[in-house]
Chains A and B, each alone.
Chain A
Amino acid sequence: MIAFSLLQIIIVPIFMAIVIMLFGKILGQKCGWLSFASLLYVTCIILDEIVNLPSIGYSLLESYSWAPLVGNFTLLLDGVSGIIALTITLLSLAISLYSIKYMEHEESFDLYNVLYLLYYSGMVGTVLSTNLAIFFLFFELMLIPSWILIGVWGTGEREKVALKYFLFTEAGAVIMLAGIGGAYMITGSFDLFVIAERAAFMSKNILYPIAVLILIGFFVKMAIFPLHNWLPDAHAEAPTPISALLSPAMIGIGGYAAIRILYTSFPTVAFDNNFTFILTLLSVITMAYGGIMAFAQDDIKRLLAYSSISQMGYMLFGIASASIIGLTGSLIIYVSHGLSKAALFMISGVFMHNLKTRKISELGGLAPKMPLTAISTLVSFLGLAGVPPLVGFWGEFFIFSGAMYRSFNPIDYLKLVTVIVGILVSILTAGYGLWTVRRIFYGEPNEKYRDVRDPEWEMLIPIVAMTVLAIILGIYPAPLTSILSHIIKNLF
């Protein structure tokens, strides 16, 4: 147990960002290692707290007095936010190591690290805060650094893409702010749990629009069809380490927040059958649409971006199942998608960095040259497809079984058909995944890449670590499921 541990999780990286900003010019390339060190420290704190969770009743609350009108600055680390924060932190840690090599030839590496750390704090703050006003602040803190990161270090039409990203997410955030304001108007509080108490006796008709407004904000972040259009551009043109962080860690926060806020504060809406049906339908469309779009891509990063859209469909599918098992599955998909997609984006970065191309049609026959990369790619795509023994299997198995359970209790044939279609649609994931593996790694070797090898250790270790972790968690998921479900069952 460490004093102010939750505050430290947010403050330490910000503090380190300030240090790097002040002394960045002197430190040069070393600032990459500094940000790595600060993230390593934060990882240790979170791990320590999560290990301690069972002994303190599965929730650690830190509250600091702040602006009286808004309420306290409250941070909560329980099973759910703990696992999500840990995933984000692990990804950020791995990717910061990866960045050191990947960004070596880029300009102003110090500023990159400053923004990177701020971005991290924004994400983890969003996950830990339980006060909607503070949640919104962090939500914006997550947006602004990432916007600059895309705009400055990105590729292609980076300024335009960054603006598109900013406008979309900001529009979502503003709609969400309207919802948060509405919640404050009817309950007089920004605190999730106070809202839950006071909203429990209110009519569904009042809560409905508020919940929907907040959800729209999350849907933009998750890139749910038809609000997905910013994502392929942003993910494709962002600097690859940031794509690796944007995609699995950040967009999934929309799903996490939907579970946290919707189910805690507006359960009457969340359990409404018509409402969940619409969400299920949206999620199946997103799953299918993202998957089909992935088939059409030749740019590997764009393919991964569409795959992320599809995966967010899975997350929403679990959220819409309104069952303990489905929500648990949804969060497991967050973890699994985080590990697999981060590895895949990092691999696409290997191609860009070492082979100077990201077009699948220009690659081919690479398996004998880069065996570890090939294995990691295969395993990560299988993880997305939910093949055991990878952790993605549990995610998919849980969301599907939860959705099926819910469509029989009470029985709703329309929903049942939607769910079955959703299950069958997941063949698309295996399809585009293995097809991509085949186009990149199999076939006759390309003469152009005769001297290509697996990347340097700074880039290889994060990739392999993600892959191995996905396998370990798949074989032994008990810690994950028991910690998650312990909190989720309280929502029911």
Chain B
Amino acid sequence: MEELLIFGWLAWIFPLLGALLTPLLAKVGDRVRDYGAIFFSFLSVVSTVALASYLFKGHVDWPLHDSFVWLSVEGSPILNKINAGILVDPLSIIMSNVVSIIAFLIMVYSLGYMKGEEGLTRYWFFMNLFIGNMLLLVLSDNLIQMLFGWEGVGLCSYALIGFYYKDSREGWKRYWVGEGDEAYPPSHAGLKAFIMTRFGDLLLFVGAFIILTFAGTLNFVELQNGAISRVPVWALLPAIIFFFGGPIGKSAQLPLMEWLPDAMAGPTTVSALIHAATMVKAGVYLVARMFPILYATKLASDSSTLLLMFYFIAWVGGLTSFVAGTQAMVSRELKKVLAYSTVSQIGYMMMALGIAGLSVEFITGYVGSIFHLMSHALFKAALFLAAGSVIHATGSRFMYDMGGLKKYMPITFWCMALASCSLAGVPILSGFWSKDMILEASLSSGEYMLFLLALSTVIVTSFYTFRMIGLVFYGESAGESHEHHLHEAPAIMWAPYAILVAGTVVLGVGGYFVRDWLIGSFEYLMISLHGEYISNIAEESFIAFLSTMCVAIGFVPAYIFYIKRLKSPDLSSKLFSSKLWTFLAKRWYINKIYYNLFVYPTIAISGWLYENFESKVVDGLNYYIASLAKQFSSKIRRIQTGDFNDNLTLFLLGIFVAVIILRFIILGVS
């Protein structure tokens, strides 16, 4: 029973080892290094699949758990023992399998995509380091160890976004991100990503420290087993709101979403792995990890104030999914469409988790979120990889430089079209099922505002998805001049995304069974948290109908303007000059506000303070004090007459005073 737990350790130790060995293998040869790196990521697939066998055993006493003492701070009331350990339950098994399998496919794809790039040793090193840290994050049994993975993936993200750190101006069409006054070179984008997520992490620290102060532990199992109840409600609510800052930053939710669209400056493989399929889901994962703990607290306390934390996360998710979706509608860059879409879809997952906390049937929302996480990882990774092939072929990240690619890249077209349908929620692909589950949860929880918001996001999603397909594959070929470059991607590149698309189709065709199987896997939560689940076919079909209608509503204009191009593209350029269009294209001005509120002022204020306060006031004061001493001494030197009589008089006077002091002050008067 327990013998397979060792794979919970090995799953992340293998890729970390692989990362360490990469520079050494590079000494042997480039091919050894490349295949070595892929081999280690394959070992983590083997490990997580071994863990997955637990899911198919009859009865398992979740969670499985293994730990040892990592360090100790003797005598301290908090943190006197910090353990390192792994936690294996359906959540971590599903997540770790998603991570390792998609990571492996992307590693294989990298062989073709990154061929001939400079700095490949660095690339493989950070990719394996990322996989290791991500699996460490997923399998940790306590928050502190998890933070190692959490910050580790952040570091890898920083390093890989800035992979083309030379920021070459000539290659800006391919390597930079954004345009106009929002064009950023890769190293800027990496820095931005790190700082923004780090700020979220600091908020998480605050929350974690408050929990730690009262509960005395940050171990998930101990918190679940009642330690969380030691935190009084008045402290728990702010603690959790702060705590959510971490997931919000990591998963690029409002108001910390601005880093992710710019993170597209990294290689496409990195965008696919880190900024679509895995790392950005870490926030969702952490919220899902905390969910049973928080839900149990809600059950235990009578006060409704704790519901606020679920409302908070639900609204953050809901609003993000809408805002990011609208931004994707006007984006001119292929990868940025996908990035906004990622933010938007993660918003769905967050919303689902928030909504789950509000109702007795929490399992629909909870499982919906995890199901959507899985299916989104599949189709979004596929979309990114296919987009990578397209960018590779055309040499530009702007969709207006593409067009008419359908006949040149048929395999890529079909893969991308299927994955897009899944993203839009076309029945019966996996995105359809998982999205419907979220919609169903929001309807049955009675949060109609959120339900409507989610529904309108479906329209938006459908529009931007098919707009993207239209711009890239239909219409006139914008790249006529270099037509001879246009060719289908090699098999080592298209095979990985074809597999991912096959995955999304299989999950979709068997969607209803997958959904039931997932609910069955999480049944233990339902028992421990007194949840209930009643299958309501009528409601499910109603929602399926509604969401399909919404997809159609979004599809029609996209079809007219971008696929069939029935109306001339002039209309879209007219739209482009409109205020609304600019507002969306400028990302609701959120990005601009941040720069004007935080970045530029910090630099300006520091310069100003340094010039005026530090140099003039503080330093000036010091020199003023020094000059006082000079003035004083120039006054007092007048008594230094050099006359022997004066000297003798003062000398005797001095002795007299000294004697007085000695006699009366030090020895006392008596």
Which residues of A are interface residues toward B (Cβ below 8 A)?
Answer: 164, 167, 226, 228-229, 292-297, 323-325, 328, 365, 367-368, 382, 385, 387-389, 393-394, 397-398, 400-401, 404-405, 408-409, 420, 423-424, 426-428, 430-431, 434-435, 438, 441-445, 477-478, 481-482, 485-486, 488-489, 492
Contacts and interface: CB of A to CB of B under 8 A. Distances in A.
Q: Is the interface of B mostly helix, strand, loop or mixed?
A: helix
B610 interface: yes
A442 B610 contact: no
Closest 8 CB pairs of A and B: A489-B75, A295-B606, A404-B209, A296-B610, A442-B187, A478-B71, A296-B606, A324-B76
A118 to B, nearest CB: 28
B203 A404 contact: no
B47 to A, nearest CB: 20
Interface of B: 69-79, 118-119, 144, 147-148, 151-152, 154-155, 158, 162, 165-169, 185, 187-188, 191, 194-195, 198-199, 202-203, 205-206, 209-210, 212-214, 235, 602-603, 605-607, 609-611, 614, 618-619, 622, 626
17 contacts: A292-B606, A293-B614, A295-B606, A297-B610, A323-B76, A323-B77, A328-B76, A368-B118, A393-B148, A397-B144, A404-B210, A423-B209, A427-B199, A428-B602, A481-B71, A488-B75, A492-B75
Contacts of B144: 397
A485 B199 contact: no
A430 B75 contact: no
A482 B212 contact: no
Most buried by B among A167, A389, A477: A389
Contacts of A428: 602
B610 A293 contact: yes
B296 to A, nearest CB: 23
Given A296-B609, A427-B199, A478-B71, A405 B187 contact: no
A292 B609 contact: yes
A293 B602 contact: no
Contact of A292 (B191, B602, B626): B602
Given A293-B610, A443-B187, A431 B202 contact: no
B205 A325 contact: no
Contacts of B70: 478
Contacts of B199: 424, 427
Contacts of A405: 77-78, 209, 212-213
Given A387-B155, A424-B206, A431-B602, A325 B71 contact: no
Contact of A445 (B77, B119, B166, B212): B166
B206 A482 contact: no
B71 A404 contact: no
A247 to B, nearest CB: 18
Contacts of A443: 165-167, 185, 187
A325 B73 contact: yes
Output the residue of B71, B147, B203, B626 with the most chain A CB within 10 A: B71
A156 B69 CA distance: 52
Contacts of A408: 210, 213-214, 235
Contact of B165 (A293, A387, A424, A442): A442
A400 B205 contact: yes
Contact of A438 (B151, B188, B235): B188
Contact of A328 (B73, B191, B209): B73
B621 to A, nearest CB: 8
Nearest to B75: A489
A400 B209 CA distance: 7
Contacts of B165: 367, 441-443
A478 B73 CA distance: 9
A393 B191 CA distance: 19
A423 B206 contact: yes
A424 B73 contact: no
A485 B75 contact: yes
Contacts of A293: 606, 609-610, 614
Nearest to A232: B614
Contacts of A387: 151, 154-155, 198
A12 B76 CA distance: 38
B389 to A, nearest CB: 28
B605 to A, nearest CB: 7
Contact of B72 (A400, A435, A481): A481
A325 B79 contact: yes
A445 B167 CA distance: 10
Contact of A401 (B166, B209, B614): B209
Contacts of A394: 71
Contacts of B206: 404, 420, 423-424
Contacts of B119: 368
Contact of B147 (A325, A367, A388, A444): A388
A438 B187 contact: yes
Contacts of B195: 427, 430-431, 434
Nearest to B617: A226
Nearest to A292: B606
A256 to B, nearest CB: 18
B152 A389 contact: yes
Contact of B71 (A427, A430, A482, A492): A482
Nearest to B74: A485
B622 A442 contact: no
Contacts of A389: 148, 152
B202 A398 contact: no
A323 B80 CA distance: 12
Given A401-B209, A444-B169, A485-B73, A295 B602 contact: yes
A306 B603 CA distance: 15
Contacts of B152: 388-389
Best-buried of B73, B213, B607 by chain A (most CB within 10 Å): B73
B73 A324 contact: yes
B213 A404 contact: yes
B72 A485 contact: yes
B162 A382 contact: no
A302 B442 CA distance: 56
A296 B147 CA distance: 31
B74 A442 contact: no
A388 B148 contact: yes
A394 B73 CA distance: 11
B461 to A, nearest CB: 33
Given A293-B609, A293-B610, A401-B209, A325 B191 contact: no
Contacts of B609: 292-293, 296
B56 to A, nearest CB: 35
Given A400-B205, A401-B78, A427-B198, 4 more contacts: A294-B606, A408-B210, A444-B166, A485-B75
Contacts of B602: 292, 295, 428, 431
A488 B155 CA distance: 33
A401 B188 contact: no
Contact of A478 (B72, B76, B168, B214): B72
A479 B541 CA distance: 61
A94 B187 CA distance: 32
Nearest to A297: B610
B167 A444 contact: yes
B42 to A, nearest CB: 24
Given A296-B610, A442-B187, A489 B618 contact: no
Given A164-B622, A388-B151, A427-B195, A442 B73 contact: no
Nearest to B212: A401
Contacts of A328: 73, 76
Given A292-B606, A295-B602, A444-B168, A438 B76 contact: no
A489 B74 contact: yes
A423 B245 CA distance: 13
Contacts of B71: 394, 477-478, 481-482
Contacts of A397: 144, 205
A389 B132 CA distance: 13
A442 B167 contact: yes
Nearest to A389: B148
A426 B205 CA distance: 11
A438 to B, nearest CB: 5
